[in-house]
Structure 1
Amino acid sequence: MLWHHDNNRIIRDAMKKKFIPDTNVILHDSGCIHQFKDNSICIPITVIEELDKFKKGNNVIHCNARDFLRTLDGLSSDCMLTNGGAPMENGEGTISILLDLPMDEKVKSNFNGITPDVRILNIAYCHARTHGFDKVVLVTKDVNLRLRARSMGVKTENYQSQYVKDPLDIYSGMQVIENIKHEMLEHLFQKPYELDVSNLLQAPSLLANENLILKNGSSSALACFDAGRQTIRRIQSRVCYGIKPRNSEQAFALNAMLNPDIPLVTLSGKAGTGKTLLALAAALETRRSYRQIFIARPVVPLSNKDLGYLPGDMASKLDPYMQPLYDNLAVLQNQANTQGEGRAKPISQLLEDEKIVITPISYIRERSIVRVFFIVDEAQNLTPHEVKTIITRAGEGTKIVFTGDIMQIDHPYLDSQTNGLAYIIEKMKGQKLYAHINLEKGERSELSELASQIL
């Protein structure tokens, strides 16, 4: 029996793989080493060296670097530098540190310069030659490094522990229900403007706060499903700070953002659909219910360089990133003036008094997010860990609105399946505290919509 047990262990060990994570995987998710089940995790010493450069700072990647190094220190033992490696906390799998190896002639002849990526690739290639090319897997979010590894015959994977399976099939936040009885539609247009969901016998299963377009021939009504009361409530178009919704999707978006019972809202859609403008209008319309309005964007540095590398003071560094937000506020000011509401001065005054704060997302970490209307623009450039950090810091009376286009990614290590906005939509759908709407129709201009469709 003892031999049989040991024999099974030998068979299991033979089937295990050696996963070699790149630095960007750890900066993306500090807990990544817990995602490889009972396999062996091998950390190149080059990765440890690179993490040392990220351990100082207040951004999420700096926190991830520190968290990972602390975790690794807690697992450290004398066997971490040997072939066996140190056992993981759960007793399954091992973790070890791979010291640098002399450059293999094949690696050296194909890649110019000994960069950190080449050193990591060399370690992966040498270990694949020793242990088998089917047993060693280089895990990286760097597309170029994956291509380099494959050219050398090294197996490689993108790190996808937090991803959406099919971004084209992502939850839209609304559905159309045809052939509603005429008397049901009439009932929705009379007080209290709602009806019991059981009256919609042909309706498919509904998610909490899902938006509906109910149709009977040429007659229709916009509605939303209240999961708590199991009712369908009609949505009436509302003007927010001079902005009137131009289509049903925009009406749905404003309804969700104006509802105090829904503290988390996501708006997705291509450029020109009005995501940011609607969010700003809703924030200004309801500003008396909140202590402050925070408007933040992730700063995706050019060539992976931090803002500190750019010339000028902090204001001049941030202006190119934040200018679209100021442009939208200017539109709201002009719209309010056109409507004769006299609200242009309050917006500029709110900015001056810091009732409206426009800032990069990394500068929000130290602020108190209590009774705040918090708009996070371009959220598709955030990681799942970053959006979780933001949401978990929300205090009482805070509303968070994420906006972005999940198909337009600027972050070098994110894509349509792994970005934070898509992750929220997929994981939060159906929750009573959450609402989502995908804006499809462009409303910026006829020319903008034409370019979006055919170029």
Structure 2
Amino acid sequence: MSKKRKVFILDTNVVLHDHKCIYNFENNDVILPIVVLEELDKFKKGNDQIHYQAREFVRDLNKISGEKLFKEGIPLGPKQGKLFVATGKPFTQAMQDSFFEKSPDHRILAIALYVKEEFKTRVVTLVTKDINLRMKAKSLGLNSEDYTTDKVKDIDVLDKGVQIHEDFDPKAIESLYNTEGVTQEDFPIQQLPANQYFVLRNASKSVLATFDPFTNLIKRVEKQGAFGIEPRNAEQTFALNALMNQDVKLVSLTGKAGTGKTLLALAAALQQTKNFKQILLARPIVPLANRDMGFLPGDVNDKIGPYMQPLFDNLSVIKHCHNPKSRENILIEEMQRDEQLLITPLAYIRGRSLSDVFFIVDEAQNLTPHEVKTIITRAAAGTKIVFTGDVEQIDSPYLDKTSNGLAFLTEKMKGQDIFAHVNLIKGERSYLAELASDLL
């Protein structure tokens, strides 16, 4: 090992978060504890994204494996460090005094302490997404940090989908009402990312507007409904504009519970049934309170049902906007019967090529950046994908506001001509739900 290089020791959850993680430490050396390989064996079989990550990592490791992996290390590529696999090490006295159980986490700590002692002239850091393990490491004098490669650097990007400007030039507002659009040269705002939304106000007038990257014009956004659902505030109006815009192929909608994210997406999809062969609604299954699906009674459909129920609830809201025998409700029933409208767990989507599909991914804050990328790359011609979620309500223990896939997507895609983002602020479910979301 080169003395100038740092040493990073990886926890299992880093590998399961990003199977390409070993290539993201520049010219520094990476150590993979043998315990990690042992734990990966438990995740090789299954349909969830975490199982996919485990399988892909093991395949990649197999390509570069060899005897040198355990002693000399194997170079990871040009201008990169080496990869080592470290075998088990004895517990130090400090560890024996603090931790009585020889769990996988503690065995990783033992290896990290051994490496730190072995290479005193180098900076040794344990990388883990487990906050508790980071605290344990620091209690033993070990450097420890989160895996930050795919963390969002500007978390405020979620709030920037809509800009509000007070005391705006009344002439500019008037021109938006009287013309098909205003050119960038005639618009008094310089920062104009593609599909940026604006609320422009002065003492007497206001207007909702957006920058259309295909015409290079700032245009007025008119209020429009979708399949019986009418927007109740400016953000919902913007959301429907993005959802109904055929030039926009990727949409992210963020906001707290009750702001109408999923409802608006579903209503817009139903309004555009002639443009798509199928409407797919999916969400990741993240059991609460550490209870796995196996604890639920019944067959696989019975187990999945409770996790999909919020999507069915949104569908019921739309159906109740119409007479039971109306053309709209008959259409919904026919689409469900013919599987043109399908509500399904996200894990069932992997491997498919989605063409001419309106695809809604709910609770996307529980996805990793790599999972979001995997989903988007399923999109074939004619497909539109909508991600909805609340970054304040993350159920995954290894994700937070800056590392979840929804925030990552919004930051990386901002400014692309086929992408639009809206952060919904005001809850419209009920006054009770709004109050609880704000105060509790």
Query: TM-score, with normalisation over the residues of structure 1?
Result: 0.92
Contact 2:158 2:423 in 1 (8 A): no
Query: Would you say 1:249 and 2:238 are equivalent positions?
Result: no
Instruction: Determine the structure 1 residue equivalent to 2:102.
Output: 114
| Partner AA of 2:101 in structure 1 | G
Q: CA deviation at 1:136?
A: 1.7
| Partner AA of 1:209 in structure 2 | N
Shift in alpha-carbon separation, 1:168–1:133, aligned structure 2, 3 A = farther
Query: Would you say 1:360 and 2:345 are equivalent positions?
Result: yes
d(CA) in 2 for partners of 1:89, 1:197: 46
**CA RMSD of superposed structures (Å):** 2.0
d(CA) in 1 for partners of 2:236, 2:401: 23
Task: Count how many residue pairs are aligned between Structure 1 and Structure 2.
Answer: 440
Aligned ranges 1:213-228 → 2 under 5 Å:
213-228=199-214
Contact 2:197 2:209 in 1 (8 A): yes
Instruction: Determine the structure 1 residue equivalent to 2:45.
Output: 56
Contact 2:359 2:385 in 1 (8 A): yes
Mean Cα deviation higher: 56-65 or 370-379: 56-65
d(CA) in 1 for partners of 2:32, 2:247: 46
Per the alignment, in what secondary structure is the counterpart of residue 343 of structure 1?
helix
Q: CA deviation at 1:280?
A: 0.8
Per the alignment, in what secondary structure is the counterpart of residue 42 of structure 1?
strand
d(CA) in 1 for partners of 2:290, 2:30: 27
| Partner AA of 1:335 in structure 2 | C
Per the alignment, in what secondary structure is the counterpart of residue 280 of structure 2?
strand
Mean Cα deviation higher: 164-173 or 66-75: 164-173
Instruction: Determine the structure 2 residue equivalent to 1:260.
Output: 246
Instruction: Determine the structure 1 residue equivalent to 2:216.
Output: 230
d(CA) in 2 for partners of 1:337, 1:186: 40
| Partner AA of 2:130 in structure 1 | D
Instruction: Determine the structure 2 residue equivalent to 1:41.
Output: 30
Deviations 1:10-45 (A, max 9, x none): 9xx323222110111011101101111111111111
Contact 1:75 1:89 in 2 (8 A): no
Query: Would you say 1:67 and 2:56 are equivalent positions?
Result: yes
Match of 2:197 among 211, 218, 243: 211
Per the alignment, in what secondary structure is the counterpart of residue 322 of structure 2?
helix
Instruction: Determine the structure 2 residue equivalent to 1:187.
Output: 175
Deviations 1:242-274 (A, max 9, x none): 111000100000000001100000000011111
| Partner AA of 1:62 in structure 2 | H
d(CA) in 1 for partners of 2:360, 2:223: 22
Query: Would you say 1:291 and 2:277 are equivalent positions?
Result: yes
Per the alignment, in what secondary structure is the counterpart of residue 411 of structure 1?
coil
Contact 1:177 1:203 in 2 (8 A): no
Contact 1:19 1:139 in 2 (8 A): yes
d(CA) in 2 for partners of 1:309, 1:453: 33
| Partner AA of 2:343 in structure 1 | I
Q: CA deviation at 1:169?
A: 5.2
Query: Would you say 1:104 and 2:79 are equivalent positions?
Result: no
Contact 1:241 1:336 in 2 (8 A): no
Contact 1:133 1:155 in 2 (8 A): no
| Partner AA of 1:387 in structure 2 | V
Aligned ranges 1:17-416 → 2 under 5 Å:
17-82=6-71, 84-90=72-78, 92-132=80-120, 135-168=123-156, 170-190=158-178, 193-200=180-187, 202-302=188-288, 307-308=293-294, 310-337=296-323, 342-416=327-401
Contact 2:352 2:378 in 1 (8 A): no
Contact 1:42 1:96 in 2 (8 A): yes
Shift in alpha-carbon separation, 1:18–1:245, aligned structure 2, 3 A = same
Deviations 1:283-329 (A, max 9, x none): 11111211110000011134666534643211111121111111111
Match of 2:418 among 433, 442, 448: 433
d(CA) in 1 for partners of 2:157, 2:207: 25
Per the alignment, in what secondary structure is the counterpart of residue 53 of structure 1?
helix
Q: CA deviation at 1:131?
A: 2.2
Q: CA deviation at 1:332?
A: 0.6
Contact 1:300 1:410 in 2 (8 A): yes
Per the alignment, in what secondary structure is the counterpart of residue 295 of structure 1?
strand
Per the alignment, in what secondary structure is the counterpart of residue 70 of structure 1?
helix
Contact 1:442 1:449 in 2 (8 A): yes
| Partner AA of 1:334 in structure 2 | H
Query: Would you say 1:443 and 2:431 are equivalent positions?
Result: no
d(CA) in 2 for partners of 1:321, 1:59: 15
Shift in alpha-carbon separation, 1:299–1:86, aligned structure 2, 3 A = same
Deviations 1:383-402 (A, max 9, x none): 00000011111010100000
| Partner AA of 1:194 in structure 2 | G
d(CA) in 2 for partners of 1:133, 1:374: 52
Shift in alpha-carbon separation, 1:169–1:196, aligned structure 2, 3 A = closer
Instruction: Determine the structure 2 residue equivalent to 1:4.
Output: none
Contact 1:180 1:215 in 2 (8 A): yes
d(CA) in 2 for partners of 1:235, 1:208: 14
Percent identity over the alignment?
A: 49
Mean Cα deviation higher: 204-213 or 415-424: 204-213
Mean Cα deviation higher: 437-446 or 89-98: 89-98
Contact 1:182 1:216 in 2 (8 A): yes
| Partner AA of 1:231 in structure 2 | L
Q: CA deviation at 1:198?
A: 1.9
Q: Which stretches in structure 1 are left out of the alignment for 5+ residues?
A: 1-9
| Partner AA of 1:451 in structure 2 | A
